[in-house]
Amino acid sequence: MHQLITSRFLDDYLVVCPGSIAGIKIPVRQFAELEQAAKSGAPAPSWLIKAARQRWAMDLAPASPVRNYLLLRESAEPQYSRASWEINLGCNYDCEHCYLGLKKFEGLSMADKARLLHVMRDAGVLWLQITGGEPTIDRDFTDSYALAYELGMMITISTNGSRLWQPKILDALTRMPAYRVVVSVYGATAASYDGLTRRRGSFAAFQKGMAAALEAGIPMRLNLVVTEHSADEEAAMWRWPSAGGWSTTATSTCPRRSTAGTSHCPRSPPSTCGSGRCSPAAMPVTPSSTPTRTARRRSARSAATRTWT
């Protein structure tokens, strides 16, 4: 299984690491050098060995063929660098503000899901968001996630967190780390949370999923969705994730609040998150420092290897 991915991204060339929001921007000549080494079975160039150690504290084997741990993504023309995939329109919640309506458990067969993922790979998709509905309830979620990972995509999962305790999902996320796991939080108590989701026991399921994911060491970003049900618990919603050191964003759909506030744990830089699929009004409002902006701010003609966090 690959440890690193190198890919064209818009007008730039990147080296990224699954499970990490940090990356390296390289000039085209270094991408060509990696391409040649990967195809010929040659070891990694010294600059990649050094950069991986500095960027991810990763010790690559200097004598090992670079293709043993680096997945080279072929360039596409035209290139579609990002994609958001509603894997299933069904959900185990029934949030009153959700745009999905009936939430039918409909989706593609696994064969068609695989075909779609290969189409996205061939179109140059590097960053893929898997959402829904609730993506983790899809019967093919783990197989689809694994295939997207194997194809060299940096995956964001937008979820309500209620299924993160399931062993099959935990195993996939620990063996094949996501770029981000983004969890929407709908309240700080069972009364407000279950009231908004209209599912008795949903708060308990959410807590069970979060506890399991935290114990497994899965990094998460939490979106705090503030509505009339939870407006009086906003302070408690902020304190709860902060105690765990997680990065959070707050979004208001409550008429008693006119703006949405944002805050980020210093361990994790702010970035565009793409929250749970609730409604346009429930999308997080955050400053962006994603690889898209950071890499494109710098000159594509630079001959030096660049990094970001």
Structure confidence by residue, pLDDT tens digits, 69-107: 999 999 888 889 999 999 998 999 999 888 887 777 778
Q: What is the DSSP letter of 146?
A: H
Task: Please give the pLDDT value at position 247.
Answer: 55
pLDDT given for residue 59 in this prediction: 94
Per-residue pLDDT, 87: 95
pLDDT(65) > 90: yes
Exposed e or buried b per residue across 191-220, where buried means at least 16 C-beta atoms within 10 angstroms of its C-beta: ebbbbbbebeebbebbebbbebbeeeebbb
Euclidean distance between CA atoms 27 and 193, whole angstroms: 48
Q: Is 279's pLDDT higher than 50?
A: no
DSSP 3-state of 62: coil
In whole angstroms, what is the distance from residue 190 CA to residue 241 CA? Answer: 16
Residues 101-115, mean pLDDT to the nearest whole number: 88
Domain match, 258 and 140 both = yes
Phi, psi at 130, each rounded to 5°: -105, 120
**Do 154 and 301 fall within a single domain?**
no
Tell me the pLDDT tens digit for each residue of 29-41: 999 999 999 999 9
Both 29 and 102 in one domain: the answer is no
- According to DSSP, residue 232 is labeled G
Mean pLDDT of the chain: 80
Side chain identity at 231, as an amino acid letter? Answer: A
Helix (H, G, I), strand (E, B) or coil at 279: coil
268: pLDDT strictly greater than 80: no
Q: Do 276 and 303 share a domain, yes or no? A: no
Strand partners, 23: 16, 308
Q: Which phi and psi (to 5°) does residue 133 adopt?
A: 40, -160
**Reported pTM:** 0.79
Q: What percent of the chain has pLDDT over 70?
A: 78
Note the pLDDT tens digit of each residue in 124-134.
999 999 998 99
**Same-domain status, 43 and 125:** no
Give the residue numbers spanning the domain of 52: 4-77+292-308
Tens digits of per-residue pLDDT, 147-206? 999 999 999 999 999 999 999 999 999 999 999 999 999 999 999 999 999 999 999 999
pLDDT for position 250: 54
Do 132 and 275 fall within a single domain?
yes
pLDDT at position 284: 28
Angle at 161 (CA atoms; ends 308, 127), nearest 5 degrees: 35
**177 and 250 share a domain?**
yes
Q: Do the strands 127-131 and 82-86 form a parallel or antiparallel pair, or are they unpaired?
A: parallel
Whether residues 150 and 70 fall in one domain? no
Q: What is the pLDDT of residue 64?
A: 94
Q: Which residue in this structure is represented by tokens 């690559």? A: 60
Q: What is the token pair recorded at 157?
A: 């999962």
55 with 106, same domain: the answer is no
Question: For residue 221, with 0-12 CB atoms within 10 Å meaning exposed, 13-18 middle and 19 or more buried, which class applies?
Answer: buried
CATH number for the domain spanning 139: value is: 3.20.20.70
70 and 108 share one domain: no
- Pair 72, 122 in one domain: no
Whether residues 284 and 147 fall in one domain: yes
What pLDDT is recorded for position 243?
A: 63
How many structural domains are present in the chain? 2
Residue 43, SS3 per DSSP: strand
Q: What is the pLDDT of residues 213-267, one digit of tens each?
A: 999 999 889 888 888 878 888 888 888 766 655 555 555 444 433 333 333 332 3
